Amino acid sequence: MARVSRGFHGRRRTDVDPSRLPPGQYVVEDFPVLSAGPTPQTPLDEWSFTIKGAVDTERTWSWEEFLALPSETFTVDIHCVTKWSKLGTTWTGVSVDELLADVETGAEYVSAYSDGGYTTNLPLEDVTDGQASVAYEFGGEPLEPEHGGPARLLVPHLYFWKSAKWLRGLTLLDRDEPGFWETLGYHNRGDPWKEQRYWSD
């Protein structure tokens, strides 16, 4: 058991509606930057977004084509497995439903993949029905590279490692394929309300 450091409270907000905070989380005001690797430097004219894998035909959008897709702006709370939560974050992006609208697939899983080699896996049913999007604006501004720009996955109802930064596409899969952290002890689904942080949870 760790010893308490007298007078240490950390910089956390305590005036928070407890119903908005999953177990074990605390609220931050800033936006911590967590990265498993260097920030990629992909120029926008070389950027593309691809849906591939168990699909009838692959689909790819250039940056301009991607921006031309119907977008939506929404405000959500986000929860990081390292225990910080940030409430009321506003994003603009394209819903995954929109990206899969014309895709024929029998797949039940998705592997999101990013510049730099990061991957994270999700059941298809966690990224459809309005639950996930590919966001390129944060707070009305272009998403900064350190926070995953040009575009990141956003799956706010799961721990934030599922919301892959620097997203380049989704691979649809018939069988689940655990990703970068899911192969190293982190929970396969990562529901913050059930505190699914690790394999043992």
Partner 1 sequence: MTPGDQHVDGNAIGGLLEEILVAEPTTAERICQSCHTRHPIGAHRGFRAAGVVLRCPSCGDLAVRVAELPGRLMVEFSGRWIFPQAD
Partner 2 sequence: MLTVRPETPHASNLVVDVPDWPGHLAGQHVDLRLTAEDGYQAERSYSIASAPEDGGHLALTVERLDDGEVSTYLTDEVRPGDTFELRGPIGGYFTWQAADGGPLVLLGGGSGLVPLAAMLRHRANAGAEVDTRLLVSARHWEDVLYRDELDAMASGGVDVRYTLTGSTPPGWDGWSRRVDADMLRELGPEPARRPRVFVCGPTPFVEHVANLLVAAGHEPQRVKTERFGPTGG
Q: Count each helix (H run) and each strand (E run) in the chain, helices first.
A: 2, 11
Q: Give strand pairing partners of 172.
A: 53, 110
**Among residues 18 and 70, whose Cβ is nearest to partner 2?**
18
**Among residues 6 and 175, whose Cβ is nearest to partner 2?**
6
- What is the x/- site pattern for partner 1, positions 75-104, by CB under 8 A? -----xxx----------------------
Q: Which of 13, 18, 31, 32 binds partner 2 (CB under 8 A)?
A: 32
- C-alpha angle with apex 196: 79 to 123, nearest 5 degrees? 90
Q: Does 38 bind partner 2 (CB under 8 A)?
A: no
Q: Does 146 bind partner 1 (CB under 8 A)?
A: no
- What is the x/- site pattern for partner 2, positions 72-91, by CB under 8 A? -----------x--------
- Amino acid identity, position 180: F
Q: Around Cβ 74, how many Cβ atoms within 10 Å?
A: 15
HEC assignment per residue over 89-156? EEEEEEEHHHHCCCCCCCCCEEEEEECCCCEEEEEHHHCCCCCCEEEEEECCEECCHHHCCCCEEECC
Please tell me whether residue 49 adopts helix, strand or coil conformation.
strand
Q: Does 38 bind partner 1 (CB under 8 A)?
A: yes
Q: Does 30 bind partner 2 (CB under 8 A)?
A: yes
Binding site for partner 1 (CB under 8 A): 34-38, 80-82, 116, 159, 161, 180-181, 184-186, 198-200
Binding site for partner 2 (CB under 8 A): 2-12, 26, 30, 32-33, 83
